[in-house]
Amino acid sequence: MPRLYALLTKVFIMVFSAVSVAAATAQDNTQAARDFLRDHEQKIQPLQIENNRAWWIANTTGKDADFAAKEAAENKLNEALADPQQFARLKKIHEGKIGEPVLARVMEVLYLQYLEKSTCELCVPKTLCALISGGNRLTSAHHDRAAMFRAGRLGRVVQVEEPA
């Protein structure tokens, strides 16, 4: 009987230790997630804003130079999202526990965003740039055709303004 109690005590200590280690890991991943998010906001978010503005300008003006700027902005953003070191860091955070539900969801969304650029077979930089270039050519050609049917007011063509 004393051996049984000793065995149960050892099992209890092992389980309690495992739970304590898991809780400590959750805290570590939560802080790592906060750090990653801070880095993402500093490095990637400005590229996303630049990309979205370039998209808006290109699609409202239809100028080839604006589509070239849009393509350059997209390529710069995709290159940043395809960084293997950042993805490895994010993957490690994603595989662990994050103590805050909202932060965990943010990290899930970021993981999917980085995953798309990091593991896709088509996402070899040269191939991805070619896909973006082809898409921009199609959009530009469509825009040129659609410009013939641009709405007018009082006999003059209405121009769409650039974003603020």
- Cα angle 22, 38, 85 (rounded to 5 degrees) comes to 75
Q: Is the pLDDT of residue 48 over 80?
A: yes
Give residue 162's pLDDT.
43
Q: Is the pLDDT of residue 146 over 60?
A: no
Give residue 49's pLDDT.
96
Overall pTM surpassing 0.75 (yes/no)? no
DSSP 11-37: HHHHHHHHHHHHHHHHHHHHHHHHHHH
pLDDT confidence bin for 117, thresholds 50/70/90: confident
Identity of the amino acid at 6: A
Give residue 64's pLDDT.
85
